[in-house]
């Protein structure tokens, strides 16, 4: 049987990580891996999460299963965090990727002939998961490589072509790998198109709190779900709670009633029965404890402001080194990522000549920078683009 298997395509991010580890040069800079790092290069355990773990350890008396959809306290807390007072069917999942997989499985059950529309560009796991489930997919324009901003006209024109019953995957705040976010007016335009075309939004939301703040980042999603009869939201707690290895996520569905919850619960049963609980219980403990939630929001806001400061510093340094505003969009982007618009050859030159690692499409992780490496990167970019 196994002799029929074929090697899988290599993961470019994992390959880049290995290349960085094998590089013996001092002063090398890793801007490829998509995890948050502080000024010391660590991905720390957040204060509120550490205290939540201590409280859990002291109070926990059993490791018996929770409910098949997930711990009710976690599901309620995440609905409140993402949707505010709104409610919806929900299941806990192993990370945001697990939430996406269950979303696509639900779509396959409900509308197997639907086309999933993805922004160009998007993350590699989106088309891979859709293919694995067996659904059709298409892309809509999103990023303008010439300006480093949105291709708003192209995006809206493409969305006007979707069919009733199709699904439009939308990136929540800071989630598109380019760093370019939709503005409130753009979200309103998208909502009008979806309502008119009869399409279902699927919002992939992994960075709530990284853009403009926890509440402001949730507003586009909250407004959108009030303007369409049904919606899906896949939310991850990996980044904004810093619990990457705990694999904690949630899938929320608005509209459809109890039958949607029944089907979501059945999907959990088929995939992994009861979802993992430790990370979910950490999040629920933080979000149901006034002191811990306040501390979490404060620390998260500090992380957000730190990345904004790095963006602004890099934009200033690039303007000085390159003697142009070519990279001014870096300061306008939000979250951890920006696509710089460099050619593959220029990205390779950054790696080979300067020990600076980023993906071949020039996506960089801003959180991989420090105040000391910002001028290093700016000088290197100026040299390879000269």
Going by pLDDT thresholds of 50, 70 and 90, the confidence category of residue 121 is very high
How big is the CA angle at 273 (ends 206 and 64), to the nearest 5 degrees?
100
pLDDT tens-place string over residues 282-340: 999 999 999 999 999 999 999 999 999 999 999 999 999 999 999 999 999 999 999 99
- Residue 63 is among the residues annotated as catalytic for this protein: no
Question: For residue 232, what is the enclosing H or E element?
Answer: strand 231-236
In the residue annotation, 123 being an active-site residue is answered as yes
Residue 230: pLDDT over 80: yes
Residue 345: pLDDT above 80? Answer: yes
Cis amide linkage into residue 4, ω under 30° from 0: no
- Per-residue pLDDT at 248 exceeds 80: yes
Closest Cα partner for 230 from 201, 196, 268? 201
- pLDDT confidence of 131, banded at 50, 70, 90? very high
- pLDDT for residue 270: 97
Q: What is the mean pLDDT of residues 254-259?
A: 92
pLDDT of residue 11: 81
Location of each CATH 3.40.640.10 domain in the chain: 65-288
pLDDT at residue 33, as a whole number: 83
- Range of weakest confidence among 29-38, 76-85, 179-188: 29-38
Residue ranges, comma separated, of all CATH 3.90.1150.10 domains in the chain are 11-44+305-385
206 is catalytic: yes
Residue of 52, 71, 123, 217 marked active site = 123
Q: Average pLDDT over the chain, rounded to whole?
A: 96
Catalytic choice (30, 158, 166, 204): 204
Is residue 358 within 8 Å of residue 31, measured between CB atoms? yes
Residue 257 pLDDT more than 90?
no
Looking at domain 65-288, its CATH architecture is 3-Layer(aba) Sandwich (3.40)
Q: What is the pLDDT of residue 20?
A: 92
On the question of pLDDT at 40 being above 90, the answer is no
Q: Return the number of other C-beta atoms located less than 10 Å from residue 232's C-beta.
A: 27
Among 191, 239, 277, 284, the one annotated catalytic: 239
Query: What confidence score (pLDDT) does residue 13 get?
Result: 84
Instruction: Give the whole-number percent of the chain exceeding pLDDT 70.
Output: 100
The secondary structure of 175-187 as a DSSP string is -STT-----HHHH
- What's the mean pLDDT in 5-28? 89
* Spatial separation of the C-alpha atoms in residues 373 and 376, rounded to whole Å: 5
* pLDDT per position as a tens digit, 81-95: 999 987 899 999 999
Q: Does domain 11-44+305-385 have CATH number 3.20.20.80?
A: no
CA distance 206 to 97: 10
- Which of the following is catalytic: 180, 191, 206, 349? 206
pLDDT of residue 60: 92
Question: What is the per-residue pLDDT for 41?
Answer: 85
> pLDDT at position 39, please?
85
Q: Is 239 a catalytic residue?
A: yes
Under 8 Å between Cβ of 347 and 358: yes
| DSSP tag of 339 | E
Contact 259, 305 (CB under 8 A): no
Concatenated DSSP letters of 306-326: HHHHHHHHHHHHHHHHHTSST
């Amino acid at each position: 049987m196994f002799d029929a298997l074929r090697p899988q395509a290599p993961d470019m991010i994992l390959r880049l990580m290995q290349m960085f580890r094998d590089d013996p040069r001092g002063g090398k800079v890793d801007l490829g891996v998509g995890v948050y790092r502080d000024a010391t290069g660590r991905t720390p355990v957040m204060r509120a999460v550490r205290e939540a773990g201590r409280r859990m350890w002291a109070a926990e008396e059993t490791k018996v299963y929770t409910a098949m959809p997930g711990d009710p306290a976690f599901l309620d807390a995440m609905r409140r965090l993402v949707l505010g007072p709104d409610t919806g069917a929900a299941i806990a999942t192993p990370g945001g990727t697990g939430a996406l997989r269950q979303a696509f499985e639900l779509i396959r059950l409900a509308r197997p002939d639907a086309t999933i529309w993805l922004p160009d560009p998007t993350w590699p796991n989106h088309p891979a998961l859709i293919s694995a489930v067996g659904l059709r997919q298409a892309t809509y324009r999103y990023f303008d490589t010439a300006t480093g901003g949105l291709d708003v006209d192209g995006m809206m024109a493409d969305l006007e072509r979707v069919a009733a019953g199709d699904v439009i995957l939308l990136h929540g705040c800071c989630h598109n790998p380019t760093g370019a976010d939709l503005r409130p007016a753009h979200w309103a335009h998208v909502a009008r198109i979806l309502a008119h075309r009869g399409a279902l939004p699927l919002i992939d939301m992994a960075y709530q709190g990284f853009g403009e703040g926890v509440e402001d980042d949730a507003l586009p999603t909250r407004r959108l779900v009030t303007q369409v009869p049904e919606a899906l939201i896949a939310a991850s707690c990996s980044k904004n709670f810093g619990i990457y290895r705990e694999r904690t996520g949630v899938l929320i569905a608005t509209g459809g009633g109890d039958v949607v919850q029944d089907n979501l619960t059945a999907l959990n049963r088929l995939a992994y029965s009861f979802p993992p609980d430790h990370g979910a219980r950490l999040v629920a403990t933080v979000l149901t404890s006034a002191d811990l939630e306040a501390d979490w929001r404060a620390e998260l806001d500090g992380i957000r402001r730190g990345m904004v400061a790095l963006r602004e510093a890099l934009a200033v340094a690039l303007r000085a080194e390159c003697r142009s505003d070519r990279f001014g969009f870096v300061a306008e982007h939000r979250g951890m990522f920006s696509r710089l618009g460099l050619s593959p050859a220029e990205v390779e030159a950054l790696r080979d000549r300067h020990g600076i690692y980023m993906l071949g499409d020039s996506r960089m992780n801003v959180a991989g920078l420090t105040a000391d490496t910002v001028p290093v990167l700016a000088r290197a970019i100026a040299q390879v683009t000269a």
